[in-house]
Amino acid sequence: MTCLPGHTEKKLGLVIDLDTCVGCQACVTACKEWNTGGHMAPLTDIDPYGGHVDGVWFNRVHAYEHTTEMGGRTVNFPRSCLHCEQPACVTVCPTGASYKRASDGIVLVDEDKCIGCKLCSWACPYGAREFDTDVGVMKKCTLCVDRIYNDNLAEDDRVPACVAACPTSARHFGDLGDPASAISQLVTNRGGVDLMPELGYKPTNKYLLPRARTERAANVDAPALEPIKAEGGFLGWIDRMLSN
Amino acid sequence: MHPAFSVLFFTTATGAGYGLLALLGLLGGFGLIPADFWLGLVGMALALGLIAAGLLSSTGHLGRPERAWRAFSQWRSSWLSREGVASVATFIPAGLFGIGWVLLGDSGGWVAVAGLLAAAGAVTTVCTTGMIYASLKPIAQWHSRYTLPAYLIFACMTGSVLLNALLQGFAVGSTVVVTGATLATLAGWAWKLATWRYNDRLKIPTTANTATGLAGGTVRSIEWPHTEENYLLKEMGFRIARKHSAKLRRITQVLAFAVPAILLAVAFASQWPFAAIASALAAISQLIGMLVERWLFFAEAKHTVTLYYGR
Amino acid sequence: MSSAEPRGANSAPSQQPLADTRAPEEGDGVDTSPSVSDRIAKTTCYMCACRCGIDVHIKDGKVRYINGNKDHPVNRGVICGKGSAGIMQHYSPARLRKPLKRTGPRGSGEFREIEWEEALTIASERLSAIRRTDPKKLAFFTGRDQSQSLTGWWASQFGTPNFAAHGGFCSVNMAAGGLYTIGGSFWEFGEPDWENTKYFMLFGVAEDHDSNPIKIGLGKLKARGAKVVSINPCRTGYNAIADDWIGIRPGTDGLFVLALVHELLKAGRIDLDYLLRYTNAPVLVVQEPGSADDGLFVRDDAGNPLAWDRVAKVPVNATDPDAKPALTGNHVVNGRRCKPVFQLIADRYLDESYSPDAVAGRCGVSAGTIRRIAAELAHVAFEQAIELPVAWTDPAGRRHETIKGRPVSMHAMRGISAHSNGFHTCRAIHLLQVLLGTIDVPGGFRFKPPYPRCAPPGPKPAGKTIRPMTPLEGMPLGFVCGPDDLLVDEAGRPTRIDKAYSWEAPLAAHGLMHSVIRNAWAGDPYPIDTLMMYMSNMAWNSSMNTVETIAMLTDKDESGAYKIPFIIYSDAYYSETVAFADLVLPDTTYLERHDCISLLDRPISHADGPGDAIRHPVVQPDRDVRPFQSVLIELGARLGLPGFVNEDGSAKYRDYADYIVNHERTPGIGPLAGWRGKNGEAIGKGEVNPDQLKRYIDNGGFWHHDFSDDQRYYKMGNRAYLDFAVEMGFIPRAERTVFQLYSEPMQRFRLAARGHGKAQPPEAERGRIEAYMDPLPFWYAPFEDGTVDLQEYPLHALTQRPMHMYHSWGAQNAWLRQITSQNRLFVHRETAARLGLADDDWVWIESVNGKVKGQIKLIDGVNPDTVWTWNAIGKRRGSWGLKDDAAESNRGFLLNHIIGDQISADANGKRYSNSDPVTGQAAWFDVRVRIVKCAADEAGFSEPQFERFRQPPNAEPSPDVLRFGAEFRIKREAAE
């Protein structure tokens, strides 16, 4: 049903730390390999060895240069479904294929109902929808719904593949609907932001921004070095230091 | 947005078809045009033919057209589903109206009621189509108060120009209809100009800054996630050069509005068969022009996802 | 919630499973607990050189999924972009199927498939003839080889000195610079103390050295708020998240570092106590210009270096723990005028030529920034020093109650290494670390066992005598300590085909693989018969000056015979080099083979303890391919190489797995250190354990030993550690490692250049030896700066591999190539504006060596005088299973085409290899270029283009659609 649940018991989602992401693509291929055999399998690749290669990927990493009066920085930016609270991708769906789970807030596509009208991809401002031309249906990030509750995985592996893979610990997972959860605390402490808040989709996923440089370098607010002015200069100083 | 022909043709053809159907239903229902067999047959065939062809064409955009029937289920939330329901529902009164008019030669009584219901259905369907686009927040050029009226005005315009051509063809043209068609064309022109003016001045609050959360200064894309174009870019990353766009706007104005308006004036001032020829040419020119307009409608629409790609 | 402690690197509370992982009753029919795999095989990744532990999930006999092994000390459960894409490497259409024998001209790709028996017969007959006559006519060079202790030993048993792996064009400057200075180095030799460091400096990093540990470490620093400073012309990857990015001009890092040294010395912000304890700073150096011992250490009769006791005013054994050595002054000992090393250091680096103001322009870094960094280093090292309450004992037996730490750490790699001044730059970085007292202390840079070793480590390169049917006296690669150790003939001519350990590259500890093809082609120093290579793309992205290299591989003499008579190549994939081989031995993938990641080789230890690992076949090959190491062992047996046959001539080892378990390099020491002894009770040294591999497999594919707290730091002078290291066989005696700030071995070369000693360089080499074998680090401009017109070629051009392809075979990987299938040339926005270039323009990139064409992308995050591109994206048409329209071969380009493999001729007309004059490290970051917008009709495709390779016989065409994983779902759903 494409009407949204009035309330979801949980708001499961991701938090992505742009201050720490080095753009290594670990989350990208970890996602690809899990999901290409997972709930929405396969994540088809068209012309995989040719000049017009185009595959289905649920997670993609961009690189930007952000330039302000404070200077420039390069920001690696992973982008995937934000599992919005107001996902228009769901409400526009004419068939009920797209839906938001009332239990955990995950936005999913029921492939068997999808007619491939692509309207959900038009309705998603974030580019989270991935059309599989091979089978003519829309696919998308499942938040690894087939991992996070999976009895066949060791309990501590029940996190999304991207979170498990991330070598710099830049990705976090949890219930953003529970203000006491570790992930909500992280968002509060770091001032996590919504993407395109003005559109009113209320994304569940949050982004932690690169921290201001002045804050970061506080521990080395070092005084300038002064040349040794004592008698005998540097070498004299050495001798005195050693004879102490 | 990528201007897929299936969708361009769909919206243009159904717009004209529903416009014509609505006018036939209204005018027929109120007995303002004769319940002539051939007029009815050709008129209804044209209207329903355009609608059917359009709807058929729209399935060309679907990945799984064999499942299209599923699209009727989500009318409570989805404008696309509502459009599906409305379009199919409209066929019922439209069919009854056609049967009454063409086979029974009667446009009064229940036939008139069917005609009016068909007209209402047509207007409703056009509204739902317009709302599909108007409801999409990621596309600022569509998510505006201009979009829904545009669909209604253009349906009325193309429908009335078609109706005029039809009546003129059967030598039953009326100055009221010619005048109406001309006025609708001028109204369409004015609305399009106003829309363009609005879009050109649009200050879109969504920027690369809000898309990435990186506030202030400039945010420039230096590397895409993948070096080749993906579905998102192919579907929504369409770009059109300003120069190209200006040229197509001129073509739209000439074919969709200026030429039809002039030809309608000629029709107004001349007799059969010249009035019929001018009216037919006006309709053809306008439909071609509207295809160009619809192409631009897509091509000039910028989806927020392009911000992630620096487009 | 799991009751166990969270394992692995991503163990923050916000990275844990939900408190309740029971699936909610959503009623949407989603199978939230699909079966993942039939079994999980734990092995070691080989998608790059990082060697992480992986869990390979096997479903229906296919690889379903690969994730990081949470217990593995290298990656602790995380996995990089390459690691997850290993599936596509394994199921690649570019994989070779069967041994190939060349039928068409070299380079055409015309082959016929042959059986292994024929292939092994061809190879062994050829090699046998060489071994009977002149073993050095076999040149055996391996690429990204992780079995060098086998391959090198094989070469040694064969009797050819002509062996090396790819280190010569990778990072030998780094390794040698470190090993000659501190007895260790970065990466495999050491790592920052991620838990305690407060200030981390990265120099010129290549982003797989090493991949996941650095990323995990950076994550920790970020979480803790430590400061990260990057010195790199490019602001990518790790540099992107640095708090301070210093976009230095390429090749000037040494100058920058020595300016920091200047500032620290000038301000007296150095750790004198540390210098006295752990370095040769107090050692007296003879100052008698013109004499044969000038610049050597003053020694006592026993050979101990002497220092000047500042209290007793007498010379003392510098290693005497009770001595009170002076660091300054002019002294006379044994009638020789002398000075302590430290005095020489002060004399040199206090000179104004090393002041920030003097170097700022050259480095492209403001003097203010240099001063600020120096001040920050000093502040963190001395004002934020840390002290761990852990008692330890020094080699003299003195107990200390705490461990003091200076929480400044550094890491450096490719960008330092790949310049012709890289060796000295690397030494300069170690000098900086040592002056701050930050090596192997809490918060500093920590050694990974078996390092530190003696600086330089013991074994010298073998190959002084080469005789038919006779093994070398040792391993081909080692460390020279003076001219007498060089591998040269009486006239000073190189003994090795790559000229390693010759006067042209005296400290070439990793060989010069990049010189082999040219030298073999030119017959300089002698012609060879067979070039055998493994896993290195020498006809493409692993060579400099590719166009000429390809020509050399196919060049013929007057008789019509190839100048390099025979080429044997082993690779798993149809790379650009395969087409140039006469005999192709198809290798398996890393999931189909045994391997050992050995302490005898390139270890994967952790600073907190030694470790090693294995690979074992987790799936069986579906084609007629064999692991190269097993093939090599079989060839060794067929050739009757002493180490590979029993006394009766039968093969000693069944295959590589058998060798891994049963080979002993010295009694009790074999390829694997874990579970030795009959019952697996010993570590390091012990009898062969026939169940050793099983024990490894049971333990997740690796062995790791954790140090006791008192062994973790000061490993260069910590009794508990040193005793352990002796027990393990890492070092011969429990003696401390003395950091060689002043390198006496280098001075010995200088003295030879001045005419002293028996081994004398050819006249033409004296100048270079004198100039570059400086016993103290110094900076000189990269060679190309001095040989090309900098007005004509004003820009530096760099390459780096993207993180998702580093040390990998990415271009043929269906997933990885989607991320990068066309490389752009990144140009600074202002530089482009000055040159009239716009974003996406196509340009010619021209050097003195030639030109290539590619498309540019404008950025801000790069040194304005530098352009750079992703390396090895450009591919030759017909290779790697890619289709003809692939972006890699149509729009991608290879910068290697315009990087010379030789530098311009000197005054004598001699062209040296484009390498560091000390180590022979390929100087592929030295290249200078200009960029010119191409004509309109030239835009849209890269140049040069090469003839398309034919496909190997019976190659299946690469698929048009890849639906990997669909089969798992179909089967899963059918089962429901």
Q: Domain ranges in chain C?
A: 13-90, 181-392+404-454, 783-938
User: Is B222 close to A65, i.e. CB distance below 8 A?
Assistant: yes
Q: Give the chain A residue nearest C802 (alpha carbons).
A: A24
| CATH 2.40.128.20 is held by the domain C783-938 | no
* The predicted structure's pLDDT at residue C812: 87
* Closest-CA distance of chain C to residue A140, Å: 14
Reply yes or no on whether the pLDDT at C636 is more than 70: yes
| CATH 2.20.25.90 is held by the domain C13-90 | yes
Q: For residue A24, give the nearest of C253, B85, C223, C85 by alpha carbon.
A: C85
| pLDDT tens-digit series, residues A164-175 | 999 999 999 999
d(CA C279, CA C742): 9
User: Is B214 close to A135, i.e. CB distance below 8 A?
Assistant: no
CB atoms within 10 A of CB C694: 14
Residue B223: what are its φ and ψ, rounded to 5°? -145, 135
Residue type, C695: R
pLDDT band at C686 (very low <50, low <70, confident <90, very high): very high
Cβ contacts of residue C634 below 8 Å, gap of 6+?
C120, C651, C655
Residues of C in contact with B226 (CB under 8 A): 818-819, 821
The greatest distance separating any two alpha carbons of chain A, rounded to the nearest whole angstrom, comes to 88
DSSP symbols for C252-318: -HHHHHHHHHHHHHHTT-S-HHHHHHHBSTT-EEE--TTSTTTTSBPB-TTSPBEEEETTTTEEEET
| pLDDT tens-digit series, residues C709-728 | 999 999 999 999 999 999 99
Cβ contacts of residue C582 below 8 Å, gap of 6+?
C101, C102, C106, C566, C567, C568
* The predicted structure's pLDDT at residue A211: 87
The token pair that represents C19 in the structure block: 């408190």
281-340 of C, contacting A, C-beta below 8 A: 310, 324, 326-329
Residue of A117, A199, A205 to mutate when probing chain B, most B C-beta within 10 A: A117
CB atoms within 10 A of CB C121: 13
d(CA C529, CA C472): 19
User: Is B74 close to A64, i.e. CB distance below 8 A?
Assistant: no
pLDDT band at C235 (very low <50, low <70, confident <90, very high): very high
d(CA A120, CA A88): 7
* Closest-CA distance of chain A to residue C227, Å: 6
Question: Which element (helix H / strand E) includes B133?
Answer: helix B109-134
pLDDT band at C122 (very low <50, low <70, confident <90, very high): very high
Residues of B in contact with A27 (CB under 8 A): none
Residue type, C484: D
Q: For residue C125, give the nearest of C645, C643, C566 by alpha carbon.
A: C566
Residue C554: what are its φ and ψ, rounded to 5°? -110, 0
| pLDDT tens-digit series, residues B249-278 | 999 999 999 999 999 999 999 998 999 999
d(CA C713, CA B195): 73
Three-state DSSP class for residue C952: coil
Reply yes or no on whether the pLDDT at C811 is more than 80: no
User: Is C267 close to A163, i.e. CB distance below 8 A?
Assistant: no
d(CA C350, CA A237): 14
Q: For residue A62, give the nearest of B230, C222, C415, C50 by alpha carbon.
A: B230
The mean pLDDT of C798-814, rounded to a whole number, is 89
Q: For residue C221, give the nearest of C414, C408, C77 by alpha carbon.
A: C408
Domain spans, chain A: 12-213
Q: Give the chain C residue nearest B221 (alpha carbons).
A: C859
> What residue has token string 């599906």?
B84
d(CA C369, CA C627): 52
The mean pLDDT of C540-544, rounded to a whole number, is 94
> What residue has token string 């050491």?
C190
User: Is A150 close to C36, i.e. CB distance below 8 A?
Assistant: yes
* The predicted structure's pLDDT at residue A214: 57
Which chains have 3+ CB pairs within 8 A of A?
B, C
| pLDDT tens-digit series, residues C297-306 | 999 999 999 9
- Tell me which of A94-108, B214-228, C206-220, C759-773 is least confident: C206-220
DSSP character at residue C249: P
Three-class SS of chain A: CCCCCCCCCCCEEEEEECCCCCCCCHHHHHHHHHHCCCCCCCCCEECCCCCCCEECCCEEEEEEEEEECCEEEEEEEEEECCCCCCCHHHHCCCCCCEEECCCCCCEEECHHHCCCCCHHHHHCCCCCEEEECCCCEEEECCCCCCCCCCCCCCHHHCCCHHHHHCCCCCEEEEECCCCCCHHHHHHHHHCCECCCHHHCCCCCCEEECCCCHHHHHHHHCCCCCCCCCCCCHHHHHHHHHHHC
> What residue has token string 């080979």?
C663
Q: Which fold has domain B5-308?
A: Formate dehydrogenase/DMSO reductase fold (1.20.1630)
The mean pLDDT of A185-207, rounded to a whole number, is 98
| pLDDT tens-digit series, residues A98-155 | 999 999 999 999 999 999 999 999 999 999 999 999 999 999 999 999 999 999 999 9
* The predicted structure's pLDDT at residue B36: 87
pLDDT band at C3 (very low <50, low <70, confident <90, very high): very low
Which chains have 3+ CB pairs within 8 A of C?
A, B
Supply the mean pLDDT for chain C. 96
> What residue has token string 């270039």?
C837
Quick check: ipTM above 0.85?
A: yes
* Closest-CA distance of chain A to residue C714, Å: 22
User: Is A63 close to B222, i.e. CB distance below 8 A?
Assistant: yes
The mean pLDDT of C486-493, rounded to a whole number, is 95
Nearest to A199 among B77, B206, B308 (CB): B206
Taking CB atoms and an 8 Å cut-off, how many pairs form between chains A and C?
A: 377
Question: Residue A74, exposed/middle/buried by CB under 10 A (0-12, 13-18, 19+)?
Answer: buried
* The predicted structure's pLDDT at residue A218: 44
Q: For residue C240, give the nearest of B214, B236, B112 by alpha carbon.
A: B214
User: Is C268 close to A228, i.e. CB distance below 8 A?
Assistant: yes
Residues of C in contact with B223 (CB under 8 A): 857
Q: Give the chain A residue nearest B229 (alpha carbons).
A: A54
| pLDDT tens-digit series, residues B60-92 | 889 999 999 999 999 999 999 999 999 999 999
The token pair that represents A153 in the structure block: 């995985």
Residues of B in contact with C887 (CB under 8 A): 227-228
Nearest to A63 among B62, B217, B223 (CB): B223
* The predicted structure's pLDDT at residue A219: 58
User: Per DSSP, what are the bridge partners of residue C961?
Assistant: A46
- The CA-atom distances, in angstroms, between C174 and each of C170, C190, C450, C903 are 9, 12, 17, 21
User: Is B221 close to A196, i.e. CB distance below 8 A?
Assistant: no
Q: What is the CATH number of domain A12-213?
A: 3.30.70.20
Reply yes or no on whether the pLDDT at A2 is more than 90: no
Supply the mean pLDDT for chain B. 95
Residues of B in contact with C857 (CB under 8 A): 222-223
Residues of B in contact with A137 (CB under 8 A): 63-64
* The predicted structure's pLDDT at residue C1: 38
* The predicted structure's pLDDT at residue C807: 83
Supply the mean pLDDT for chain A. 94
| pLDDT tens-digit series, residues C21-32 | 999 999 999 999
pLDDT band at B95 (very low <50, low <70, confident <90, very high): very high
Reply yes or no on whether the pLDDT at B223 is more than 80: yes
Residues of B in contact with C802 (CB under 8 A): none
Is the minimum CB–CB distance between B231 and chain C shorter than 8 Å? no
What is the CATH architecture assignment of C181-392+404-454? Answer: 3-Layer(aba) Sandwich (3.40)
* Closest-CA distance of chain C to residue A118, Å: 21
The alpha carbon of A80 is separated from its chain's Cα centroid by a whole number of angstroms, namely 6
The token pair that represents A127 in the structure block: 């580019």
Is the minimum CB–CB distance between B225 and chain C shorter than 8 Å? yes
